[in-house]
Amino acid sequence: MVSARSSSHDVYVSSDVVVKIIDADRHSRLDREVTLAPHLPNGLTAPLLASGFYQLGTRYIRYACFARVPGAVPGMGMPGIDSATARQLTEEAIQRLNGMHGWIPTGQAEQTLRETPYHGGFVNQAALSTEIGTLAALDRDGIMPRHLLDGLIAIAERVPLHAQAGVPVHADCHWGNWLVSDRSVTALLDFEWARLGEPIDDWFFLVRFSGPHMENVLDVIARATTTSMETLRAQCEVREAAYLASDLRIALERSDASGRIAAERLHALEELIVGHYWWCR
């Protein structure tokens, strides 16, 4: 087996299987994926073959073994992909996600989806306003320019009072979590953040991480969901504002990571607020 890149697990891949390993006390997201995997709609993701715990010396390891599905990851920004292929992959991704959104979970799967982990996404206006206020209070060193903070506040003032939590969503379906073979989608991976939410919680990830294909992806989603482009842009803007506020707050709380993470998120926030990322296209 060979190791594969992952920011949250040790991942090993062979011609037939993929194994994810993590210290059992690190986080519980793999538990979430293992619980959901047997119940997800058929053909949506890689089949779970085995899972469990293993004691390795003084370490307690959580593992999950999945069948390897043919295909490769398109990657963040869909590098090297032409416009026609980007549209086709988006259409197929929407079909897969529609299956997820139309799935009616029961039993343990339903309970797991209702036990929503902290995810940093949009929940309601009050929560977003509180997050921004906490971020401002934590910024004792003044790394957060006032115009960016004001921009976040302005977005929070015009968002819906509440997001719905009515359908199962993947909640992390950027183009680094899809497999594609022969210009066709073969699987959606990594259900560690799956929860109940709104379909836009997934559409956001398809659009935001499509790089130069943003307009094409927005157009495909608008047509497939009969949603106006203006509504999609506004809803995506809210999701990005929520994620950036959350990430920046966490970066300031964890001083060991604040430099790198804060710089990345501040750049994205500059694009969002000053560059009007979702509107100047």
Same domain membership, residue 235 and residue 210: yes
Q: What is the pLDDT of residues 243-263, one digit of tens each?
A: 999 999 988 888 655 577 788
- Mean pLDDT score of the chain, rounded to an integer? 92
Three-state secondary-structure class, residue 62: strand
Looking at the fold, whether 108 and 43 belong to one and the same domain comes out as: no
Q: Compute the average pLDDT of residues 9-15.
A: 89
Residue 27 sits in a domain whose CATH number is: 3.30.200.20
In terms of Cα–Cα distance, which of 253, 263, 268 is closest to 152?
Answer: 268
Which pLDDT score is estimated for 258?
54
Average pLDDT over residues 56-82: 94
Per-residue pLDDT, 24: 83
What pLDDT score was predicted for residue 205? Answer: 98
On whether both 254 and 159 belong to a single domain, the answer is: yes
| 107 and 32, same domain (yes or no) | no
- The pLDDT of residue 130 is above 80: yes
Same-domain status, 55 and 160: no
Q: What is the pLDDT of residue 196?
A: 95
Same domain, yes or no: 248 and 121: yes
Q: Based on the domain organization, do 245 and 201 belong to the same domain?
A: yes
DSSP of 21-51: EEETTT-SHHHHHHHHGGGSPTTSSPPEEEE
pLDDT in tens, 50-68: 999 998 888 899 999 999 9
Residue-wise pLDDT for 200-254, tens only, equals 999 999 999 999 999 999 999 999 999 999 999 999 999 999 999 999 998 888 8
Tell me which residue of 274, 248, 246, 243 sits closest to 263, measured CA to CA.
248
Domain span at 208? 83-273
Burial class of residue 185 in the structure, from the number of CB atoms within 10 Å of its CB (0-12 exposed, 13-18 middle, 19+ buried) = buried
Selection from 51, 44, 43, 41 nearest residue 18 by Cα: 51
How many helices (DSSP H) and strands (DSSP E) are in the chain? Answer: 9, 9
Q: 36 with 96, same domain?
A: no
Provide φ and ψ at 118, rounded to 5°: -65, 125
